[in-house]
Structure 1
Amino acid sequence: MPRLCVAVGIWLGGGRPVQIEPGDAPGAAGFDGVVITGGHDVDPVLYAQESKVLPHYDPDRDAFESAVIDDALARGLPLLGICRGAQLLNVRLGGDLHQDLRSRRRRTSNRRTIFPMKTLLIEAGTRLFGLFGLYQTRINSLHNQSIDALGRGLVVSGRDLDGIVQAVEHPAERFLIGVQWHPEFLLHSREQRGLFTALVSAAAARAAGPELRDAADRETSAGA
């Protein structure tokens, strides 16, 4: 269901979703942008830590999606990381994770839900703020890990009421955003659909050439 909803989000944003799986060469499908979706916890071996919780890892998926992210970064492809995808993006850039959030909760619940029950505080001046045009909004929560130390070049663009990182981005890249929530379950929201629209616009502009790339940069910065 999550992957179907992601595909719908891409389609609503004007793109054509293409799914790739372990065994596929990262660049073989000829795609112009990447979404790394949610799923199992990221294995802490990838950021040089030992497991502190009951493991729910998928080493094959970790390896495959790590290769996809590395390929996207090397080629400058627009990328949206969702939940696990945001965490893995951070790890590939040299960051690490909190393995269990329960002890870090003070003001917010650790309840997992697809409904927008949690407050997101958005940092002014970030690309996420430009897209949403809001200082705060409501998001869902299905995760038990989160970003701790930031990866190279990443900045925090959103936190929840406990200060836990909910969104990161790379200001020097055309479109490189990771969100801890699941926008694919919130497609009724213009702002959440806008994440997919902005990704598709950046991907289309990259494929089309420099003039459209510059136009897409201006559009994303303006939050159109």
Structure 2
Amino acid sequence: MSFANRPVIGVTGPDQGGLSAWLMTALAIRRAGGRPVRLTPSRSYDENRLDGIVIGGGTDVDPFHYGEEPLPPPQTAEHFSLTDWTVGLLLSALRFLLARHNRGGEMFDRQRDELEQHLVRHALYTDKPLLGICRGAQLINVTLGGSLHQSIDDFYQEGTANPRSILPRKTVTLAEGSCLYELLGGAEARVNALHEQSIRDLGDGLLVSARERNGVIQGIEREGPGFVLGVQWHPEYLPQYPSQQRLFGALVTAARDR
């Protein structure tokens, strides 16, 4: 199949920053046989030409969308394979080199929230495949009427921190029979973590398909037919794991079949 005939997958992000996430997500989509298109508040694109959508990671979802005021900002010997360390080091350096701060140092990106909520509703209305990554999973949940934990520190007992790393430092349990269970090939998966928030109350029609042992929701999907999946981790930063890349493969396959 020629590149021009591949399914067009829109990938959302901020106007400023987010370049490393875009590059890694675009690479994963290309590897899966799709044609990625970058979508930001200032980059207009006809959503009717999209075959699938990825809502990417980034800044926190504005708690205004689920009826809360923002909380004050938080106060600030595992072994990995050589491949994990090498990929993690390279990607961390890439994120650092390409990082740019939001305009004015604002905590939230309301223009991005508006764009992505519009695209989530469009995907659900037109039955287009939809994948949410980290913030994207949270945004899908909020758009469907759910809410978030603005801080997950309370889930971690004294002496156990919430690791924030591109390396796969968390173990999640997958719900048997779920889409994630089938894609990742088993009852557990090792994942990375760059988040400080998580899903609290589920949005309409969503199911939990992955959790940490402490109860933090790590994966959601929508009941019924179609492909609507959200993960709290960043599979785009785990290119060395075929199981994680299958998430993008499933999205592209669903877009092509549609």
TM-score of the aligned structures, taking structure 2 as reference length: 0.77
Letter in 1 for 2:40: E
Q: Distance in 1 between matches of 2:56 and 2:130?
A: 11
Is 1:10 the equivalent of 2:47? no
State the shift of 1:166 in Å: 0.1
Is 1:129 the equivalent of 2:181? yes
- After the TM superposition, which residues 24-173 of structure 1 pair with which residues of structure 2 at under 5 Å, given as runs? 24=43, 27-28=46-47, 30-54=49-73, 56-106=107-157, 109-173=161-225
State the shift of 1:173 in Å: 3.6
State the shift of 1:46 in Å: 0.4
Give the aligned partner of residue 6 of structure 2. none
Structure 1 unaligned spans of 5+: 207-224
Structure 1 range deviating more: 69-78 or 82-91: 69-78
Give the aligned partner of residue 175 of structure 1. 227
Structure 2 unaligned spans of 5+: 1-19, 74-105
Q: Distance in 1 between matches of 2:133 and 2:29?
A: 13
State the shift of 1:29 in Å: 6.3
Q: Distance in 2 between matches of 1:126 and 1:30?
A: 29
State the shift of 1:26 in Å: 6.1
Identity in percent: 45
C-alpha contact (below 8 Å) 2:168/2:191 kept by paired residues? yes
Ranges of 4+ aligned residues in structure 1 off by more than 3 Å: 23-29
Is 1:203 the equivalent of 2:203? no
Q: Distance in 2 between matches of 1:14 and 1:88?
A: 26
Letter in 2 for 1:78: P
Letter in 1 for 2:255: A
- After the TM superposition, which residues 184-199 of structure 1 pair with which residues of structure 2 at under 5 Å, given as runs? 184-199=236-251
How many residue pairs align between the two structures?
206
* Structure 1 vs Structure 2 CA RMSD: 1.5
- Closer, same or farther: CA 56–124 of 1 in aligned 2, 3 Å: same
State the shift of 1:99 in Å: 0.2
C-alpha contact (below 8 Å) 1:26/1:67 kept by paired residues? no
TM-score of the aligned structures, taking structure 1 as reference length: 0.88
State the shift of 1:111 in Å: 2.5
State the shift of 1:133 in Å: 1.6
